[in-house]
Structure 1
Amino acid sequence: MLTSAERGPARVPDRVLRDLPKVCLHDHLDGALRPATVVELAAAAGHRLPVEEPEALGRWIRASADSGSLVRYLETFQHTVAVMQSPEALVRCAREYVEDLVADGVVHAEVRWAPEQHTAGGLSMAEAVEAVRLGLSEGVLAAEDAGHIVSVTQILCAMRHAERSLEVARLVVDNRDRGVVAFDLAGPEDGFPPVRHRAALELLADELMPVTLHAGEAAGIGSIRDALATGRALRLGHGVRIAEDIEIEEEDGVAVVTLGRTAEWVRDRGIALEVCPTSNLQTGAVAAFGTAPERHPVDMLYRTGFTVTISPDNRLMSGTSVTGELASLVTHFGYGLEDLEQLQRNAAAAAFLPLEDRSALEGIITEGFEGMHG
């Protein structure tokens, strides 16, 4: 495997990255709020924040996420979720989410969130889903009026440690023609396997609804196997610990790669990994490989043929974006336009869209990157 130094200096200027057409597959709505929006919504809802000035709140959230303390990391979501309990708040957050995608050069995104966490203000889960749908639609229409191409769909999450997954699965099915494209299990991965949600997963399989499960982040290979076998996952949320099922040895100066059975299954069948590099470092998902960005196994996975896609996970908590994550790959692994284009093609091909829409998305990517090459 070539190191970034062996591949030479980065070839993509920072000014180019934001204009590249990008696809985002793993992005949490409650982790993508603007600090100023959190402050305003908290004041309206009577929710007390640890810091009440937007820039200072943003710094506090990022410091908490970087602290190495799971308690402090999760506390940040308590504040964002708390201000997303009314239709008006959900509409606003969804609309601003689309605006931020456009500013980031994203042409297609699948935003995920857990409706069961947004009923404290009296909303039903169905009403919450409709509010987010409305906000996303407003954002997309405004973007189109301004001359920007963007599409956004929803992935509904059920919480692994809760008991409402069957309700969420039914909500996914009921809204399949209203912009909801898939189901996810989020929350604590270790100790809460997909088998606890068998009824929901069987319903989704019977209804031929796509599933992408968080797996290979807080737990290892066994969790990934379970997501594939029990969950019938078509993509893996994060999935980076699949790298623990790979051995690389040097023989006469040549890298020899040996894949375990699970890694072989994932790679050979093109099961997309929704990799979120900055978040993975914050949560310790890749601690076995090191704590520095250049030690993240994303490059090894990409170079050994896995279907790697790149997303921010939680824009607010990680202080990042799709552009920011790609910039890190350029800096730490020497990625050039060809690499970045392949990552976007991977994401377009893995999107939960009809074949015709995926083909059109790939065309947008091709055209956008050709313009940069030229």
Structure 2
Amino acid sequence: MLLKTFGWSFVVTAVGLVLAVLYGGWTAFGIVAILSILEISLSFDNAVVNAGILKKMSAFWQKIFLTVGVLIAVFGMRLIFPVAIVAITAKKNPIDAVNLALTDKDQYQQLVTDAHPAIAAFGGMFLLMIFLDFIFEAREIQWLRWVERPLAKLGKVDMLSVCIALIVLLIASMTFATHAHQHGGAHIDKGQTVLISGIAGLITYMIVGGLSGYFEDKLEEEEEREHEEEEEAARSGKQRSAILLAGKAAFFMFLYLEVLDASFSFDGVIGAFAITNDIILMALGLGIGAMYVRSLTVYLVRQGTLDDYVYLEHGAHYAIGALAVILMVTIQYQINEVITGLVGVLLIGWSFWSSVRRNRAIAEAEGKAEAPDAKAEVSSGV
């Protein structure tokens, strides 16, 4: 079961790590490995959401999402999107940007470094909005209650996430951006660039979120309509056309999943810029991670274990929040790549261990509750 589900991911991992060593030695190997772990940790909640929707779909539409969808996720968002970011921020033709990355690594690296304040502002705002919208939402299950409970109450204020994100952006544009480094080591005021890029990241998040919400509403409408027609068919004794309705619902599910996948791909791609500016290593690491997310989605659907580790989603979003802060700080200060990568891994590991402890505590409580009942049955039998 494990080999069947994760087989292709293991193959892609082996090939990707070998290519990393051939490309940049063992340092590149380490960076690709960290990027892979980062992508998996950041996208775990995406896999959980995908699995929850995929299990409602027919085998045909599951295959469509796990074949066509994974091609879009790996080659579209993990390969094309990083090139697009560099091309836009460095004002280069996409083809020239790719050629430059392959032929003149030093110049390409310098172009990316000069464009880093804009990239960091765009990505920092996008990631920050994901984290804020999560942390301000009231949830039945809370991980760090002393933090999440009061913030959930504050989240009742309309547009609070947007207001906080804009305040952070203004502060960053008036502090970090005023000392951002330019080519040659000179200092240049990039406040306007950071401000515009941050607003672009905020707008991108709102557009993606709006589209996801639209498709989710469409999905709910289709499910309600299907339920109503089932009841009507049952009353009239007629057999309705279930295939057409299932097709519509599955189509909206597919669109919703693609938009959702794109939104979660942003945080992985943007977060990768906090670890490396090398487009080749980025593509290898994120591609490996995306394959594991795909396999994990299939595994969760087949095993039905979506609710086993309830704090993992929290840990992933805290990692996103940490990356957002790191990206904003790197507008002026350089932070070690290893530290950046380990922050997300540690948060995910902590949330996983908390989930395990929670499961053990629940099992022990249930065992103690059953023990008196068993004694009572024995006593009554005697």
TM class, shorter-length: under 0.3
Taking structure 1 as the reference length, what is the TM-score of the superposition? 0.26
Greater RCO (CA < 8 Å, at least 6 residues apart): 2
Larger Rg: 2
1 or 2, which has the higher helix percentage?
2
Taking structure 2 as the reference length, what is the TM-score of the superposition? 0.25
